[in-house]
Amino acid sequence: MHNEILKDIGEKELIRRITKFMPTNQASDDCAFIESKGENLLINTDLMIENTHFNDEIISPKDIGWKAVTTNYSDLISSGCTEFIGINIGLVLSPKTEWRWVQKLYEGFSEALNNFGGSILGGDCSRGETKMISITALGLQNKLKLRRNACKPGEVLLTTGIHGLSKLGLLIKSNQITIKDSNISKKLIDQSINAFCRPTPRHKTLKKILQSSENFIKREIGCTDSSDGFYQAIFDLSQESKCKAIIDYKKIPKNELWPKGEKWDKFYFFGGEDYELLISLPRDWANELIRMDNEITEIGYFTKGSPKVEIKNYPNKRNLDNDSYSHF
Amino acid sequence: MHNEILKDIGEKELIRRITKFMPTNQASDDCAFIESKGENLLINTDLMIENTHFNDEIISPKDIGWKAVTTNYSDLISSGCTEFIGINIGLVLSPKTEWRWVQKLYEGFSEALNNFGGSILGGDCSRGETKMISITALGLQNKLKLRRNACKPGEVLLTTGIHGLSKLGLLIKSNQITIKDSNISKKLIDQSINAFCRPTPRHKTLKKILQSSENFIKREIGCTDSSDGFYQAIFDLSQESKCKAIIDYKKIPKNELWPKGEKWDKFYFFGGEDYELLISLPRDWANELIRMDNEITEIGYFTKGSPKVEIKNYPNKRNLDNDSYSHF
């Protein structure tokens, strides 16, 4: 097939083919890991593209700047980064872009960097037809490694928080859901818009994980963030760790105002742009962590078996269709 | 001015404003420098945008891949990098892109990495309306630092090779110059197209500079690459080092087949996408380096004075107009 196009092969197959060009040890995590003499580095690149991830109607340039840094840092955190070095920025703008837009974007970058650490290291700026922000973030690997492929059968699966809010925020901001239609509360609307525009990566939770790790020998644990969605995150852990994930629908923490129904379950499971951590830990460690942080919830476990995600106690007869986002 | 647009303020002013958001010690070089406990890192980001830097008519995807890596590595080399760690790739593609195009791009990346070192570390891939490649390259800083701001009055200015070929290659490939019109030789055409599609960064020359440095105490020398053009490179050295550059037109090395005339001088001085090094060295060190490598040519010197580039012995009465490329 000499003329097959990306739309035909799909995102998953594209990534599989591209990954073949990489050394095998680098392929499974969001972050690349660089072994250095003194300190070990984590490096991560994330793209934000106009009309794919943002447009002027749904999010302000300052929020885009905040989000570009924090979502990147979320990937670093999910690999075990506690100290951020900073970011390199690749910025594509059209000559018609207002300076004010660029200024607000950089104010957003700066606000996030002031909050979490690191600085603007450098970058490149170029003319293009659509706006594009490519951020490469660098951080230091803590002694405890967090990796997608380190979940073990018998371990407990934990989440650091609730999902679905960011998707709802996007749908509200893009007028795909109106408040009247859905009978959702003002409080939930505000929380959702905030989750979409101003995500907070889980650096504080990581510090608690590191603190709790002092009582245990293990130096590598299973973890990822839920930037591609709650379900996808658990699926990725399961696939990279070569074991089955079983989650209990009844244990999944939800916002108290979150409506019931399959539509809302889909937002929760497949919405994406959540920046919680999904963590796999041995029972005793999991218990200790839950004691230390009441936002952390046990939602299931890993077991031997082919990589997949099984949902127990789902209220509908048929299971949820996988509705994950694909770029192509 | 709340609604001023980038076209009005121009690239130079945009960069000046953006740079204010960076720590002051990071602002003057292409590469960011990261001090680490064991080894010091260099990091550099370069963008290649469809319809700005490339299109399918003028360059093949394999050559784009080669060029994306090598031009990035040229920046690392110009800061003193001798060992390449690898690259993170931010890739934006439309769903209509053929897989074959992506495959050839990655073959180009791989070919360059196999030639110069380093591997694909990771990256991100997203849907967008125009193709975009954002590459962030990482390397190790050698003990000798090469910096734009390290030129000193009294030092000799050297170039590692000739300029202008890449611009001529672009003009030929984009049919802006036809062979008949300009009466240029087949050999020069081939060399120009090769310079445009397959640039070779000066890693071998850097090794000679490092070798020669063993006889001298200085551990920081003035240097940049000529990716933004021959004139711009010297101007940048002059501005960052706060001294005047004086170059002798008669000493500038040219391709033996390079035609005479102001048009051709403009291609030479302002063409851009050349990847030579411009180096500032004390007289005795410069002499030693020229003895070691006959491609290195002395073209002028730095002297006290306001930052500017003075061209001696220019054959025309009036000086060359600055014709450097601006993105906005």
- Give the pLDDT band (50/70/90) at residue A227: very high
Residue that wins the pLDDT comparison between A326 and B288? B288
pTM of the model: 0.91
Is residue A1's pLDDT more than 60? Answer: no
Helix axes A61-78, A186-197, angle to 10 degrees: 70
C-alpha to C-alpha distances, A275 to A38, A116, A195, A196, nearest whole angstrom = 30, 15, 9, 10
Rounded Cα gap, residues A25 and A252, in angstroms: 33
What number is the average pLDDT over the span B176-193? 86
Is residue A179's pLDDT more than 80?
Answer: no
Range A91-96 average pLDDT = 92
User: pLDDT: is A34 or A99 the higher one?
Assistant: A99
Give me the residue label for tokens 């209509």.
B96
Per CB-CB distance under 8 Å, the chain B contacts of A128 are 49-52, 130, 132
Residue A40: the pLDDT is 84
Q: Which residues of B touch A102 (CB under 8 A)?
A: 6, 14, 17-18
Please give the pLDDT value at position A68.
97
pLDDT tops 70 at residue B252: yes
Q: Which of these, A327, A320, A328, lies nearest to A235 by C-alpha position?
A: A320
Interchain CB contacts (distance < 8 Å): A and B: 245
How many residues are there in chain B? 328
Say yes or no: do domains B31-141 and B145-312 share a fold: no
- Nearest-by-Cβ selection for B120 from A7, A22, A96: A22
For residue range A134-174, list pLDDT tens digits in order: 999 999 988 899 999 999 999 999 999 999 999 999 999 99
- CB neighbour list of residue A161: distance below 8 Å, 6 or more residues apart: A202, A253, A274, A276, A295
Alpha helices in chain A (DSSP H): 6-19, 61-78, 99-116, 165-173, 179-182, 186-197, 203-213, 230-241, 262-270, 283-292
Cα B140 to Cα B82: distance, rounded to the nearest angstrom: 7
Nearest to residue A56, comparing CAs of A141, A135, A131, A128? A131
B101-127 b/e with 16+ CB inside 10 Å = b? bbbbbbebbbbbbeebebbbbbbbbbb
Of B139, B135, B287, B290, which is closest to residue B203 (Cα–Cα)?
A: B139
Beta bridge partners of A282: none
Query: Domain B145-312 is in which class?
Result: alpha beta
Mind listing the pLDDT tens digit for each residue in A8-49? Answer: 888 778 878 877 777 766 556 667 777 766 678 899 999 999
Per the structure block, which two tokens stand in for B112? 């360059």
Alpha carbon of residue B317 to chain centroid: 30
Q: How confident is the model at residue A300 (pLDDT cuts 50, 70, 90)?
A: very high
Q: What is the pLDDT of residue B148?
A: 93
pLDDT at A118: 93
CATH architecture of A31-141: 2-Layer Sandwich (3.30)
Please state the φ and ψ torsions of residue B281, each to the nearest 5 degrees. Answer: -140, 150
Mean pLDDT is lowest, of A280-284, B178-182, B290-294, for B178-182
pLDDT band at A320 (very low <50, low <70, confident <90, very high): confident
Q: How confident is the model over A77-106, as a mean pLDDT?
A: 93
Residue in A92, A148, A227 to test binding to B, most B beta-carbons within 10 Å:
A92
Average pLDDT, stretch A289-316? 94
Parse chain B into domains and list their residue ranges.
31-141, 145-312
